[in-house]
Amino acid sequence: MQESISSNSISNPSSTAGHSKAKEQKPDGQVPRIGIIGTGTMGERHCRVCANLPRVELIGVADLNRERGTKVADRYATAYFSDHHKLLSHIDAVIVAASTPVHYALAAECLKCGLHVMVEKPITETIDQAHHLVQIAEERDLILQVGHIERFNPAFIELKHVTEEMTLIGINMRRLSPFDTSNIDVDVIRDLMIHDLDLAVNLVGSELEGITAWGRSINTGTTDHAVANLSFRDGPIATLFASRVTEQKVRAIEVIAEGAYVEADLLNKTVLVHRRTFPQYLDNHQTTKYHQESFIERIHVPMSEPLMLELRHFTDCVRHGCPADVPGHDGLRALEMAETVARSIAS
């Protein structure tokens, strides 16, 4: 079933308890003090990167699991807080890396405390919650960045550069993972496909017209394997595959364009551009021969860690008061698209 993309009517959720007075902004260029809420797998990765970023002070981590939180805090030489409220008064910005169901409550509270926020994807559980977070951030002139980390993948950045002058015809995106490495807090659409929904719109840069999707439940009560077709106005057709029941981890984008075929491997950080020359017919002593050549351009991709680039961008935005490249609006849009995919599958 194809569904058009449109914003739902929004009724603001009830306010989350928190401070109503915003903290004073730090003078431009000062070292931002960062806190992290959640020390699971992703939270620990944030700790590792923040502990090694220059001109950033990792003040502490908060987690209800004292054993886990203390272990991570000790590993990265920072403080542990069993109560995240006690952390908030010591920091300028916070990374919310807790489970998806608590994204909204934690991020809303931190914004109301006057803190800049980076929240992992998906931005919230519901579209209403996402709208409200964006509204709070705008009202308080605070940074709300969403953790769509693939935007900072060097292979995707180079893919955008390579294709920006091309006429795109089709895009295939594959994001596949074994089940034991997946986040089962949400379905495969919000866990994996949401990355490529965001990348597709960012890569094409034109208005999305509709989505058709199919899916299957394999290991959970939600969708574990999904396929979606995206149609863009005056643009390409994008086909997205997302699965958490494969034995191979794949993060790949293929672009079909006029005069070129481009392959990007987001895991191995490679971008290849396939082109061919025009065929030639050679007449040599009354013998006609067919001759065609093709060549492959191997694009240089810097070997930088996407999470490091993402967190460096966030802390630079906090330091200098700049808007984020992946703001709350983009997280909201990705969540709206994921909801549309889910509805299409359900119907």
Report percent pLDDT > 70 for the chain: 86
pLDDT value of position 201? 97
Question: What local confidence, expressed as pLDDT, does residue 23 receive?
Answer: 47
Judged against a pLDDT cut of 70, whether residue 117 lies above it is answered with yes
Higher pLDDT, 336 or 28: 336
Kindly report, residue by residue over 267-309, the tens digit of the pLDDT: 999 999 999 876 666 666 666 666 566 789 999 999 999 999 9
Higher pLDDT, 100 or 289: 100
The pLDDT assigned to 5 comes to 46
**Per-residue pLDDT band at 1 (split at 50, 70, 90):** very low
Q: What is the pTM of this model?
A: 0.86
Provide the edge-to-edge strand list for the sheet that holds 33-37: 79-81, 57-62, 33-37, 93-96, 116-120, 144-147
When pLDDT is averaged across residues 88-115 and rounded to a whole number, the result is: 97
Q: Residue 285's pLDDT is what? A: 63
Task: Give per-residue pLDDT as tens, 232-279.
Answer: 998 999 999 999 999 899 999 999 999 999 999 999 999 999 998 766
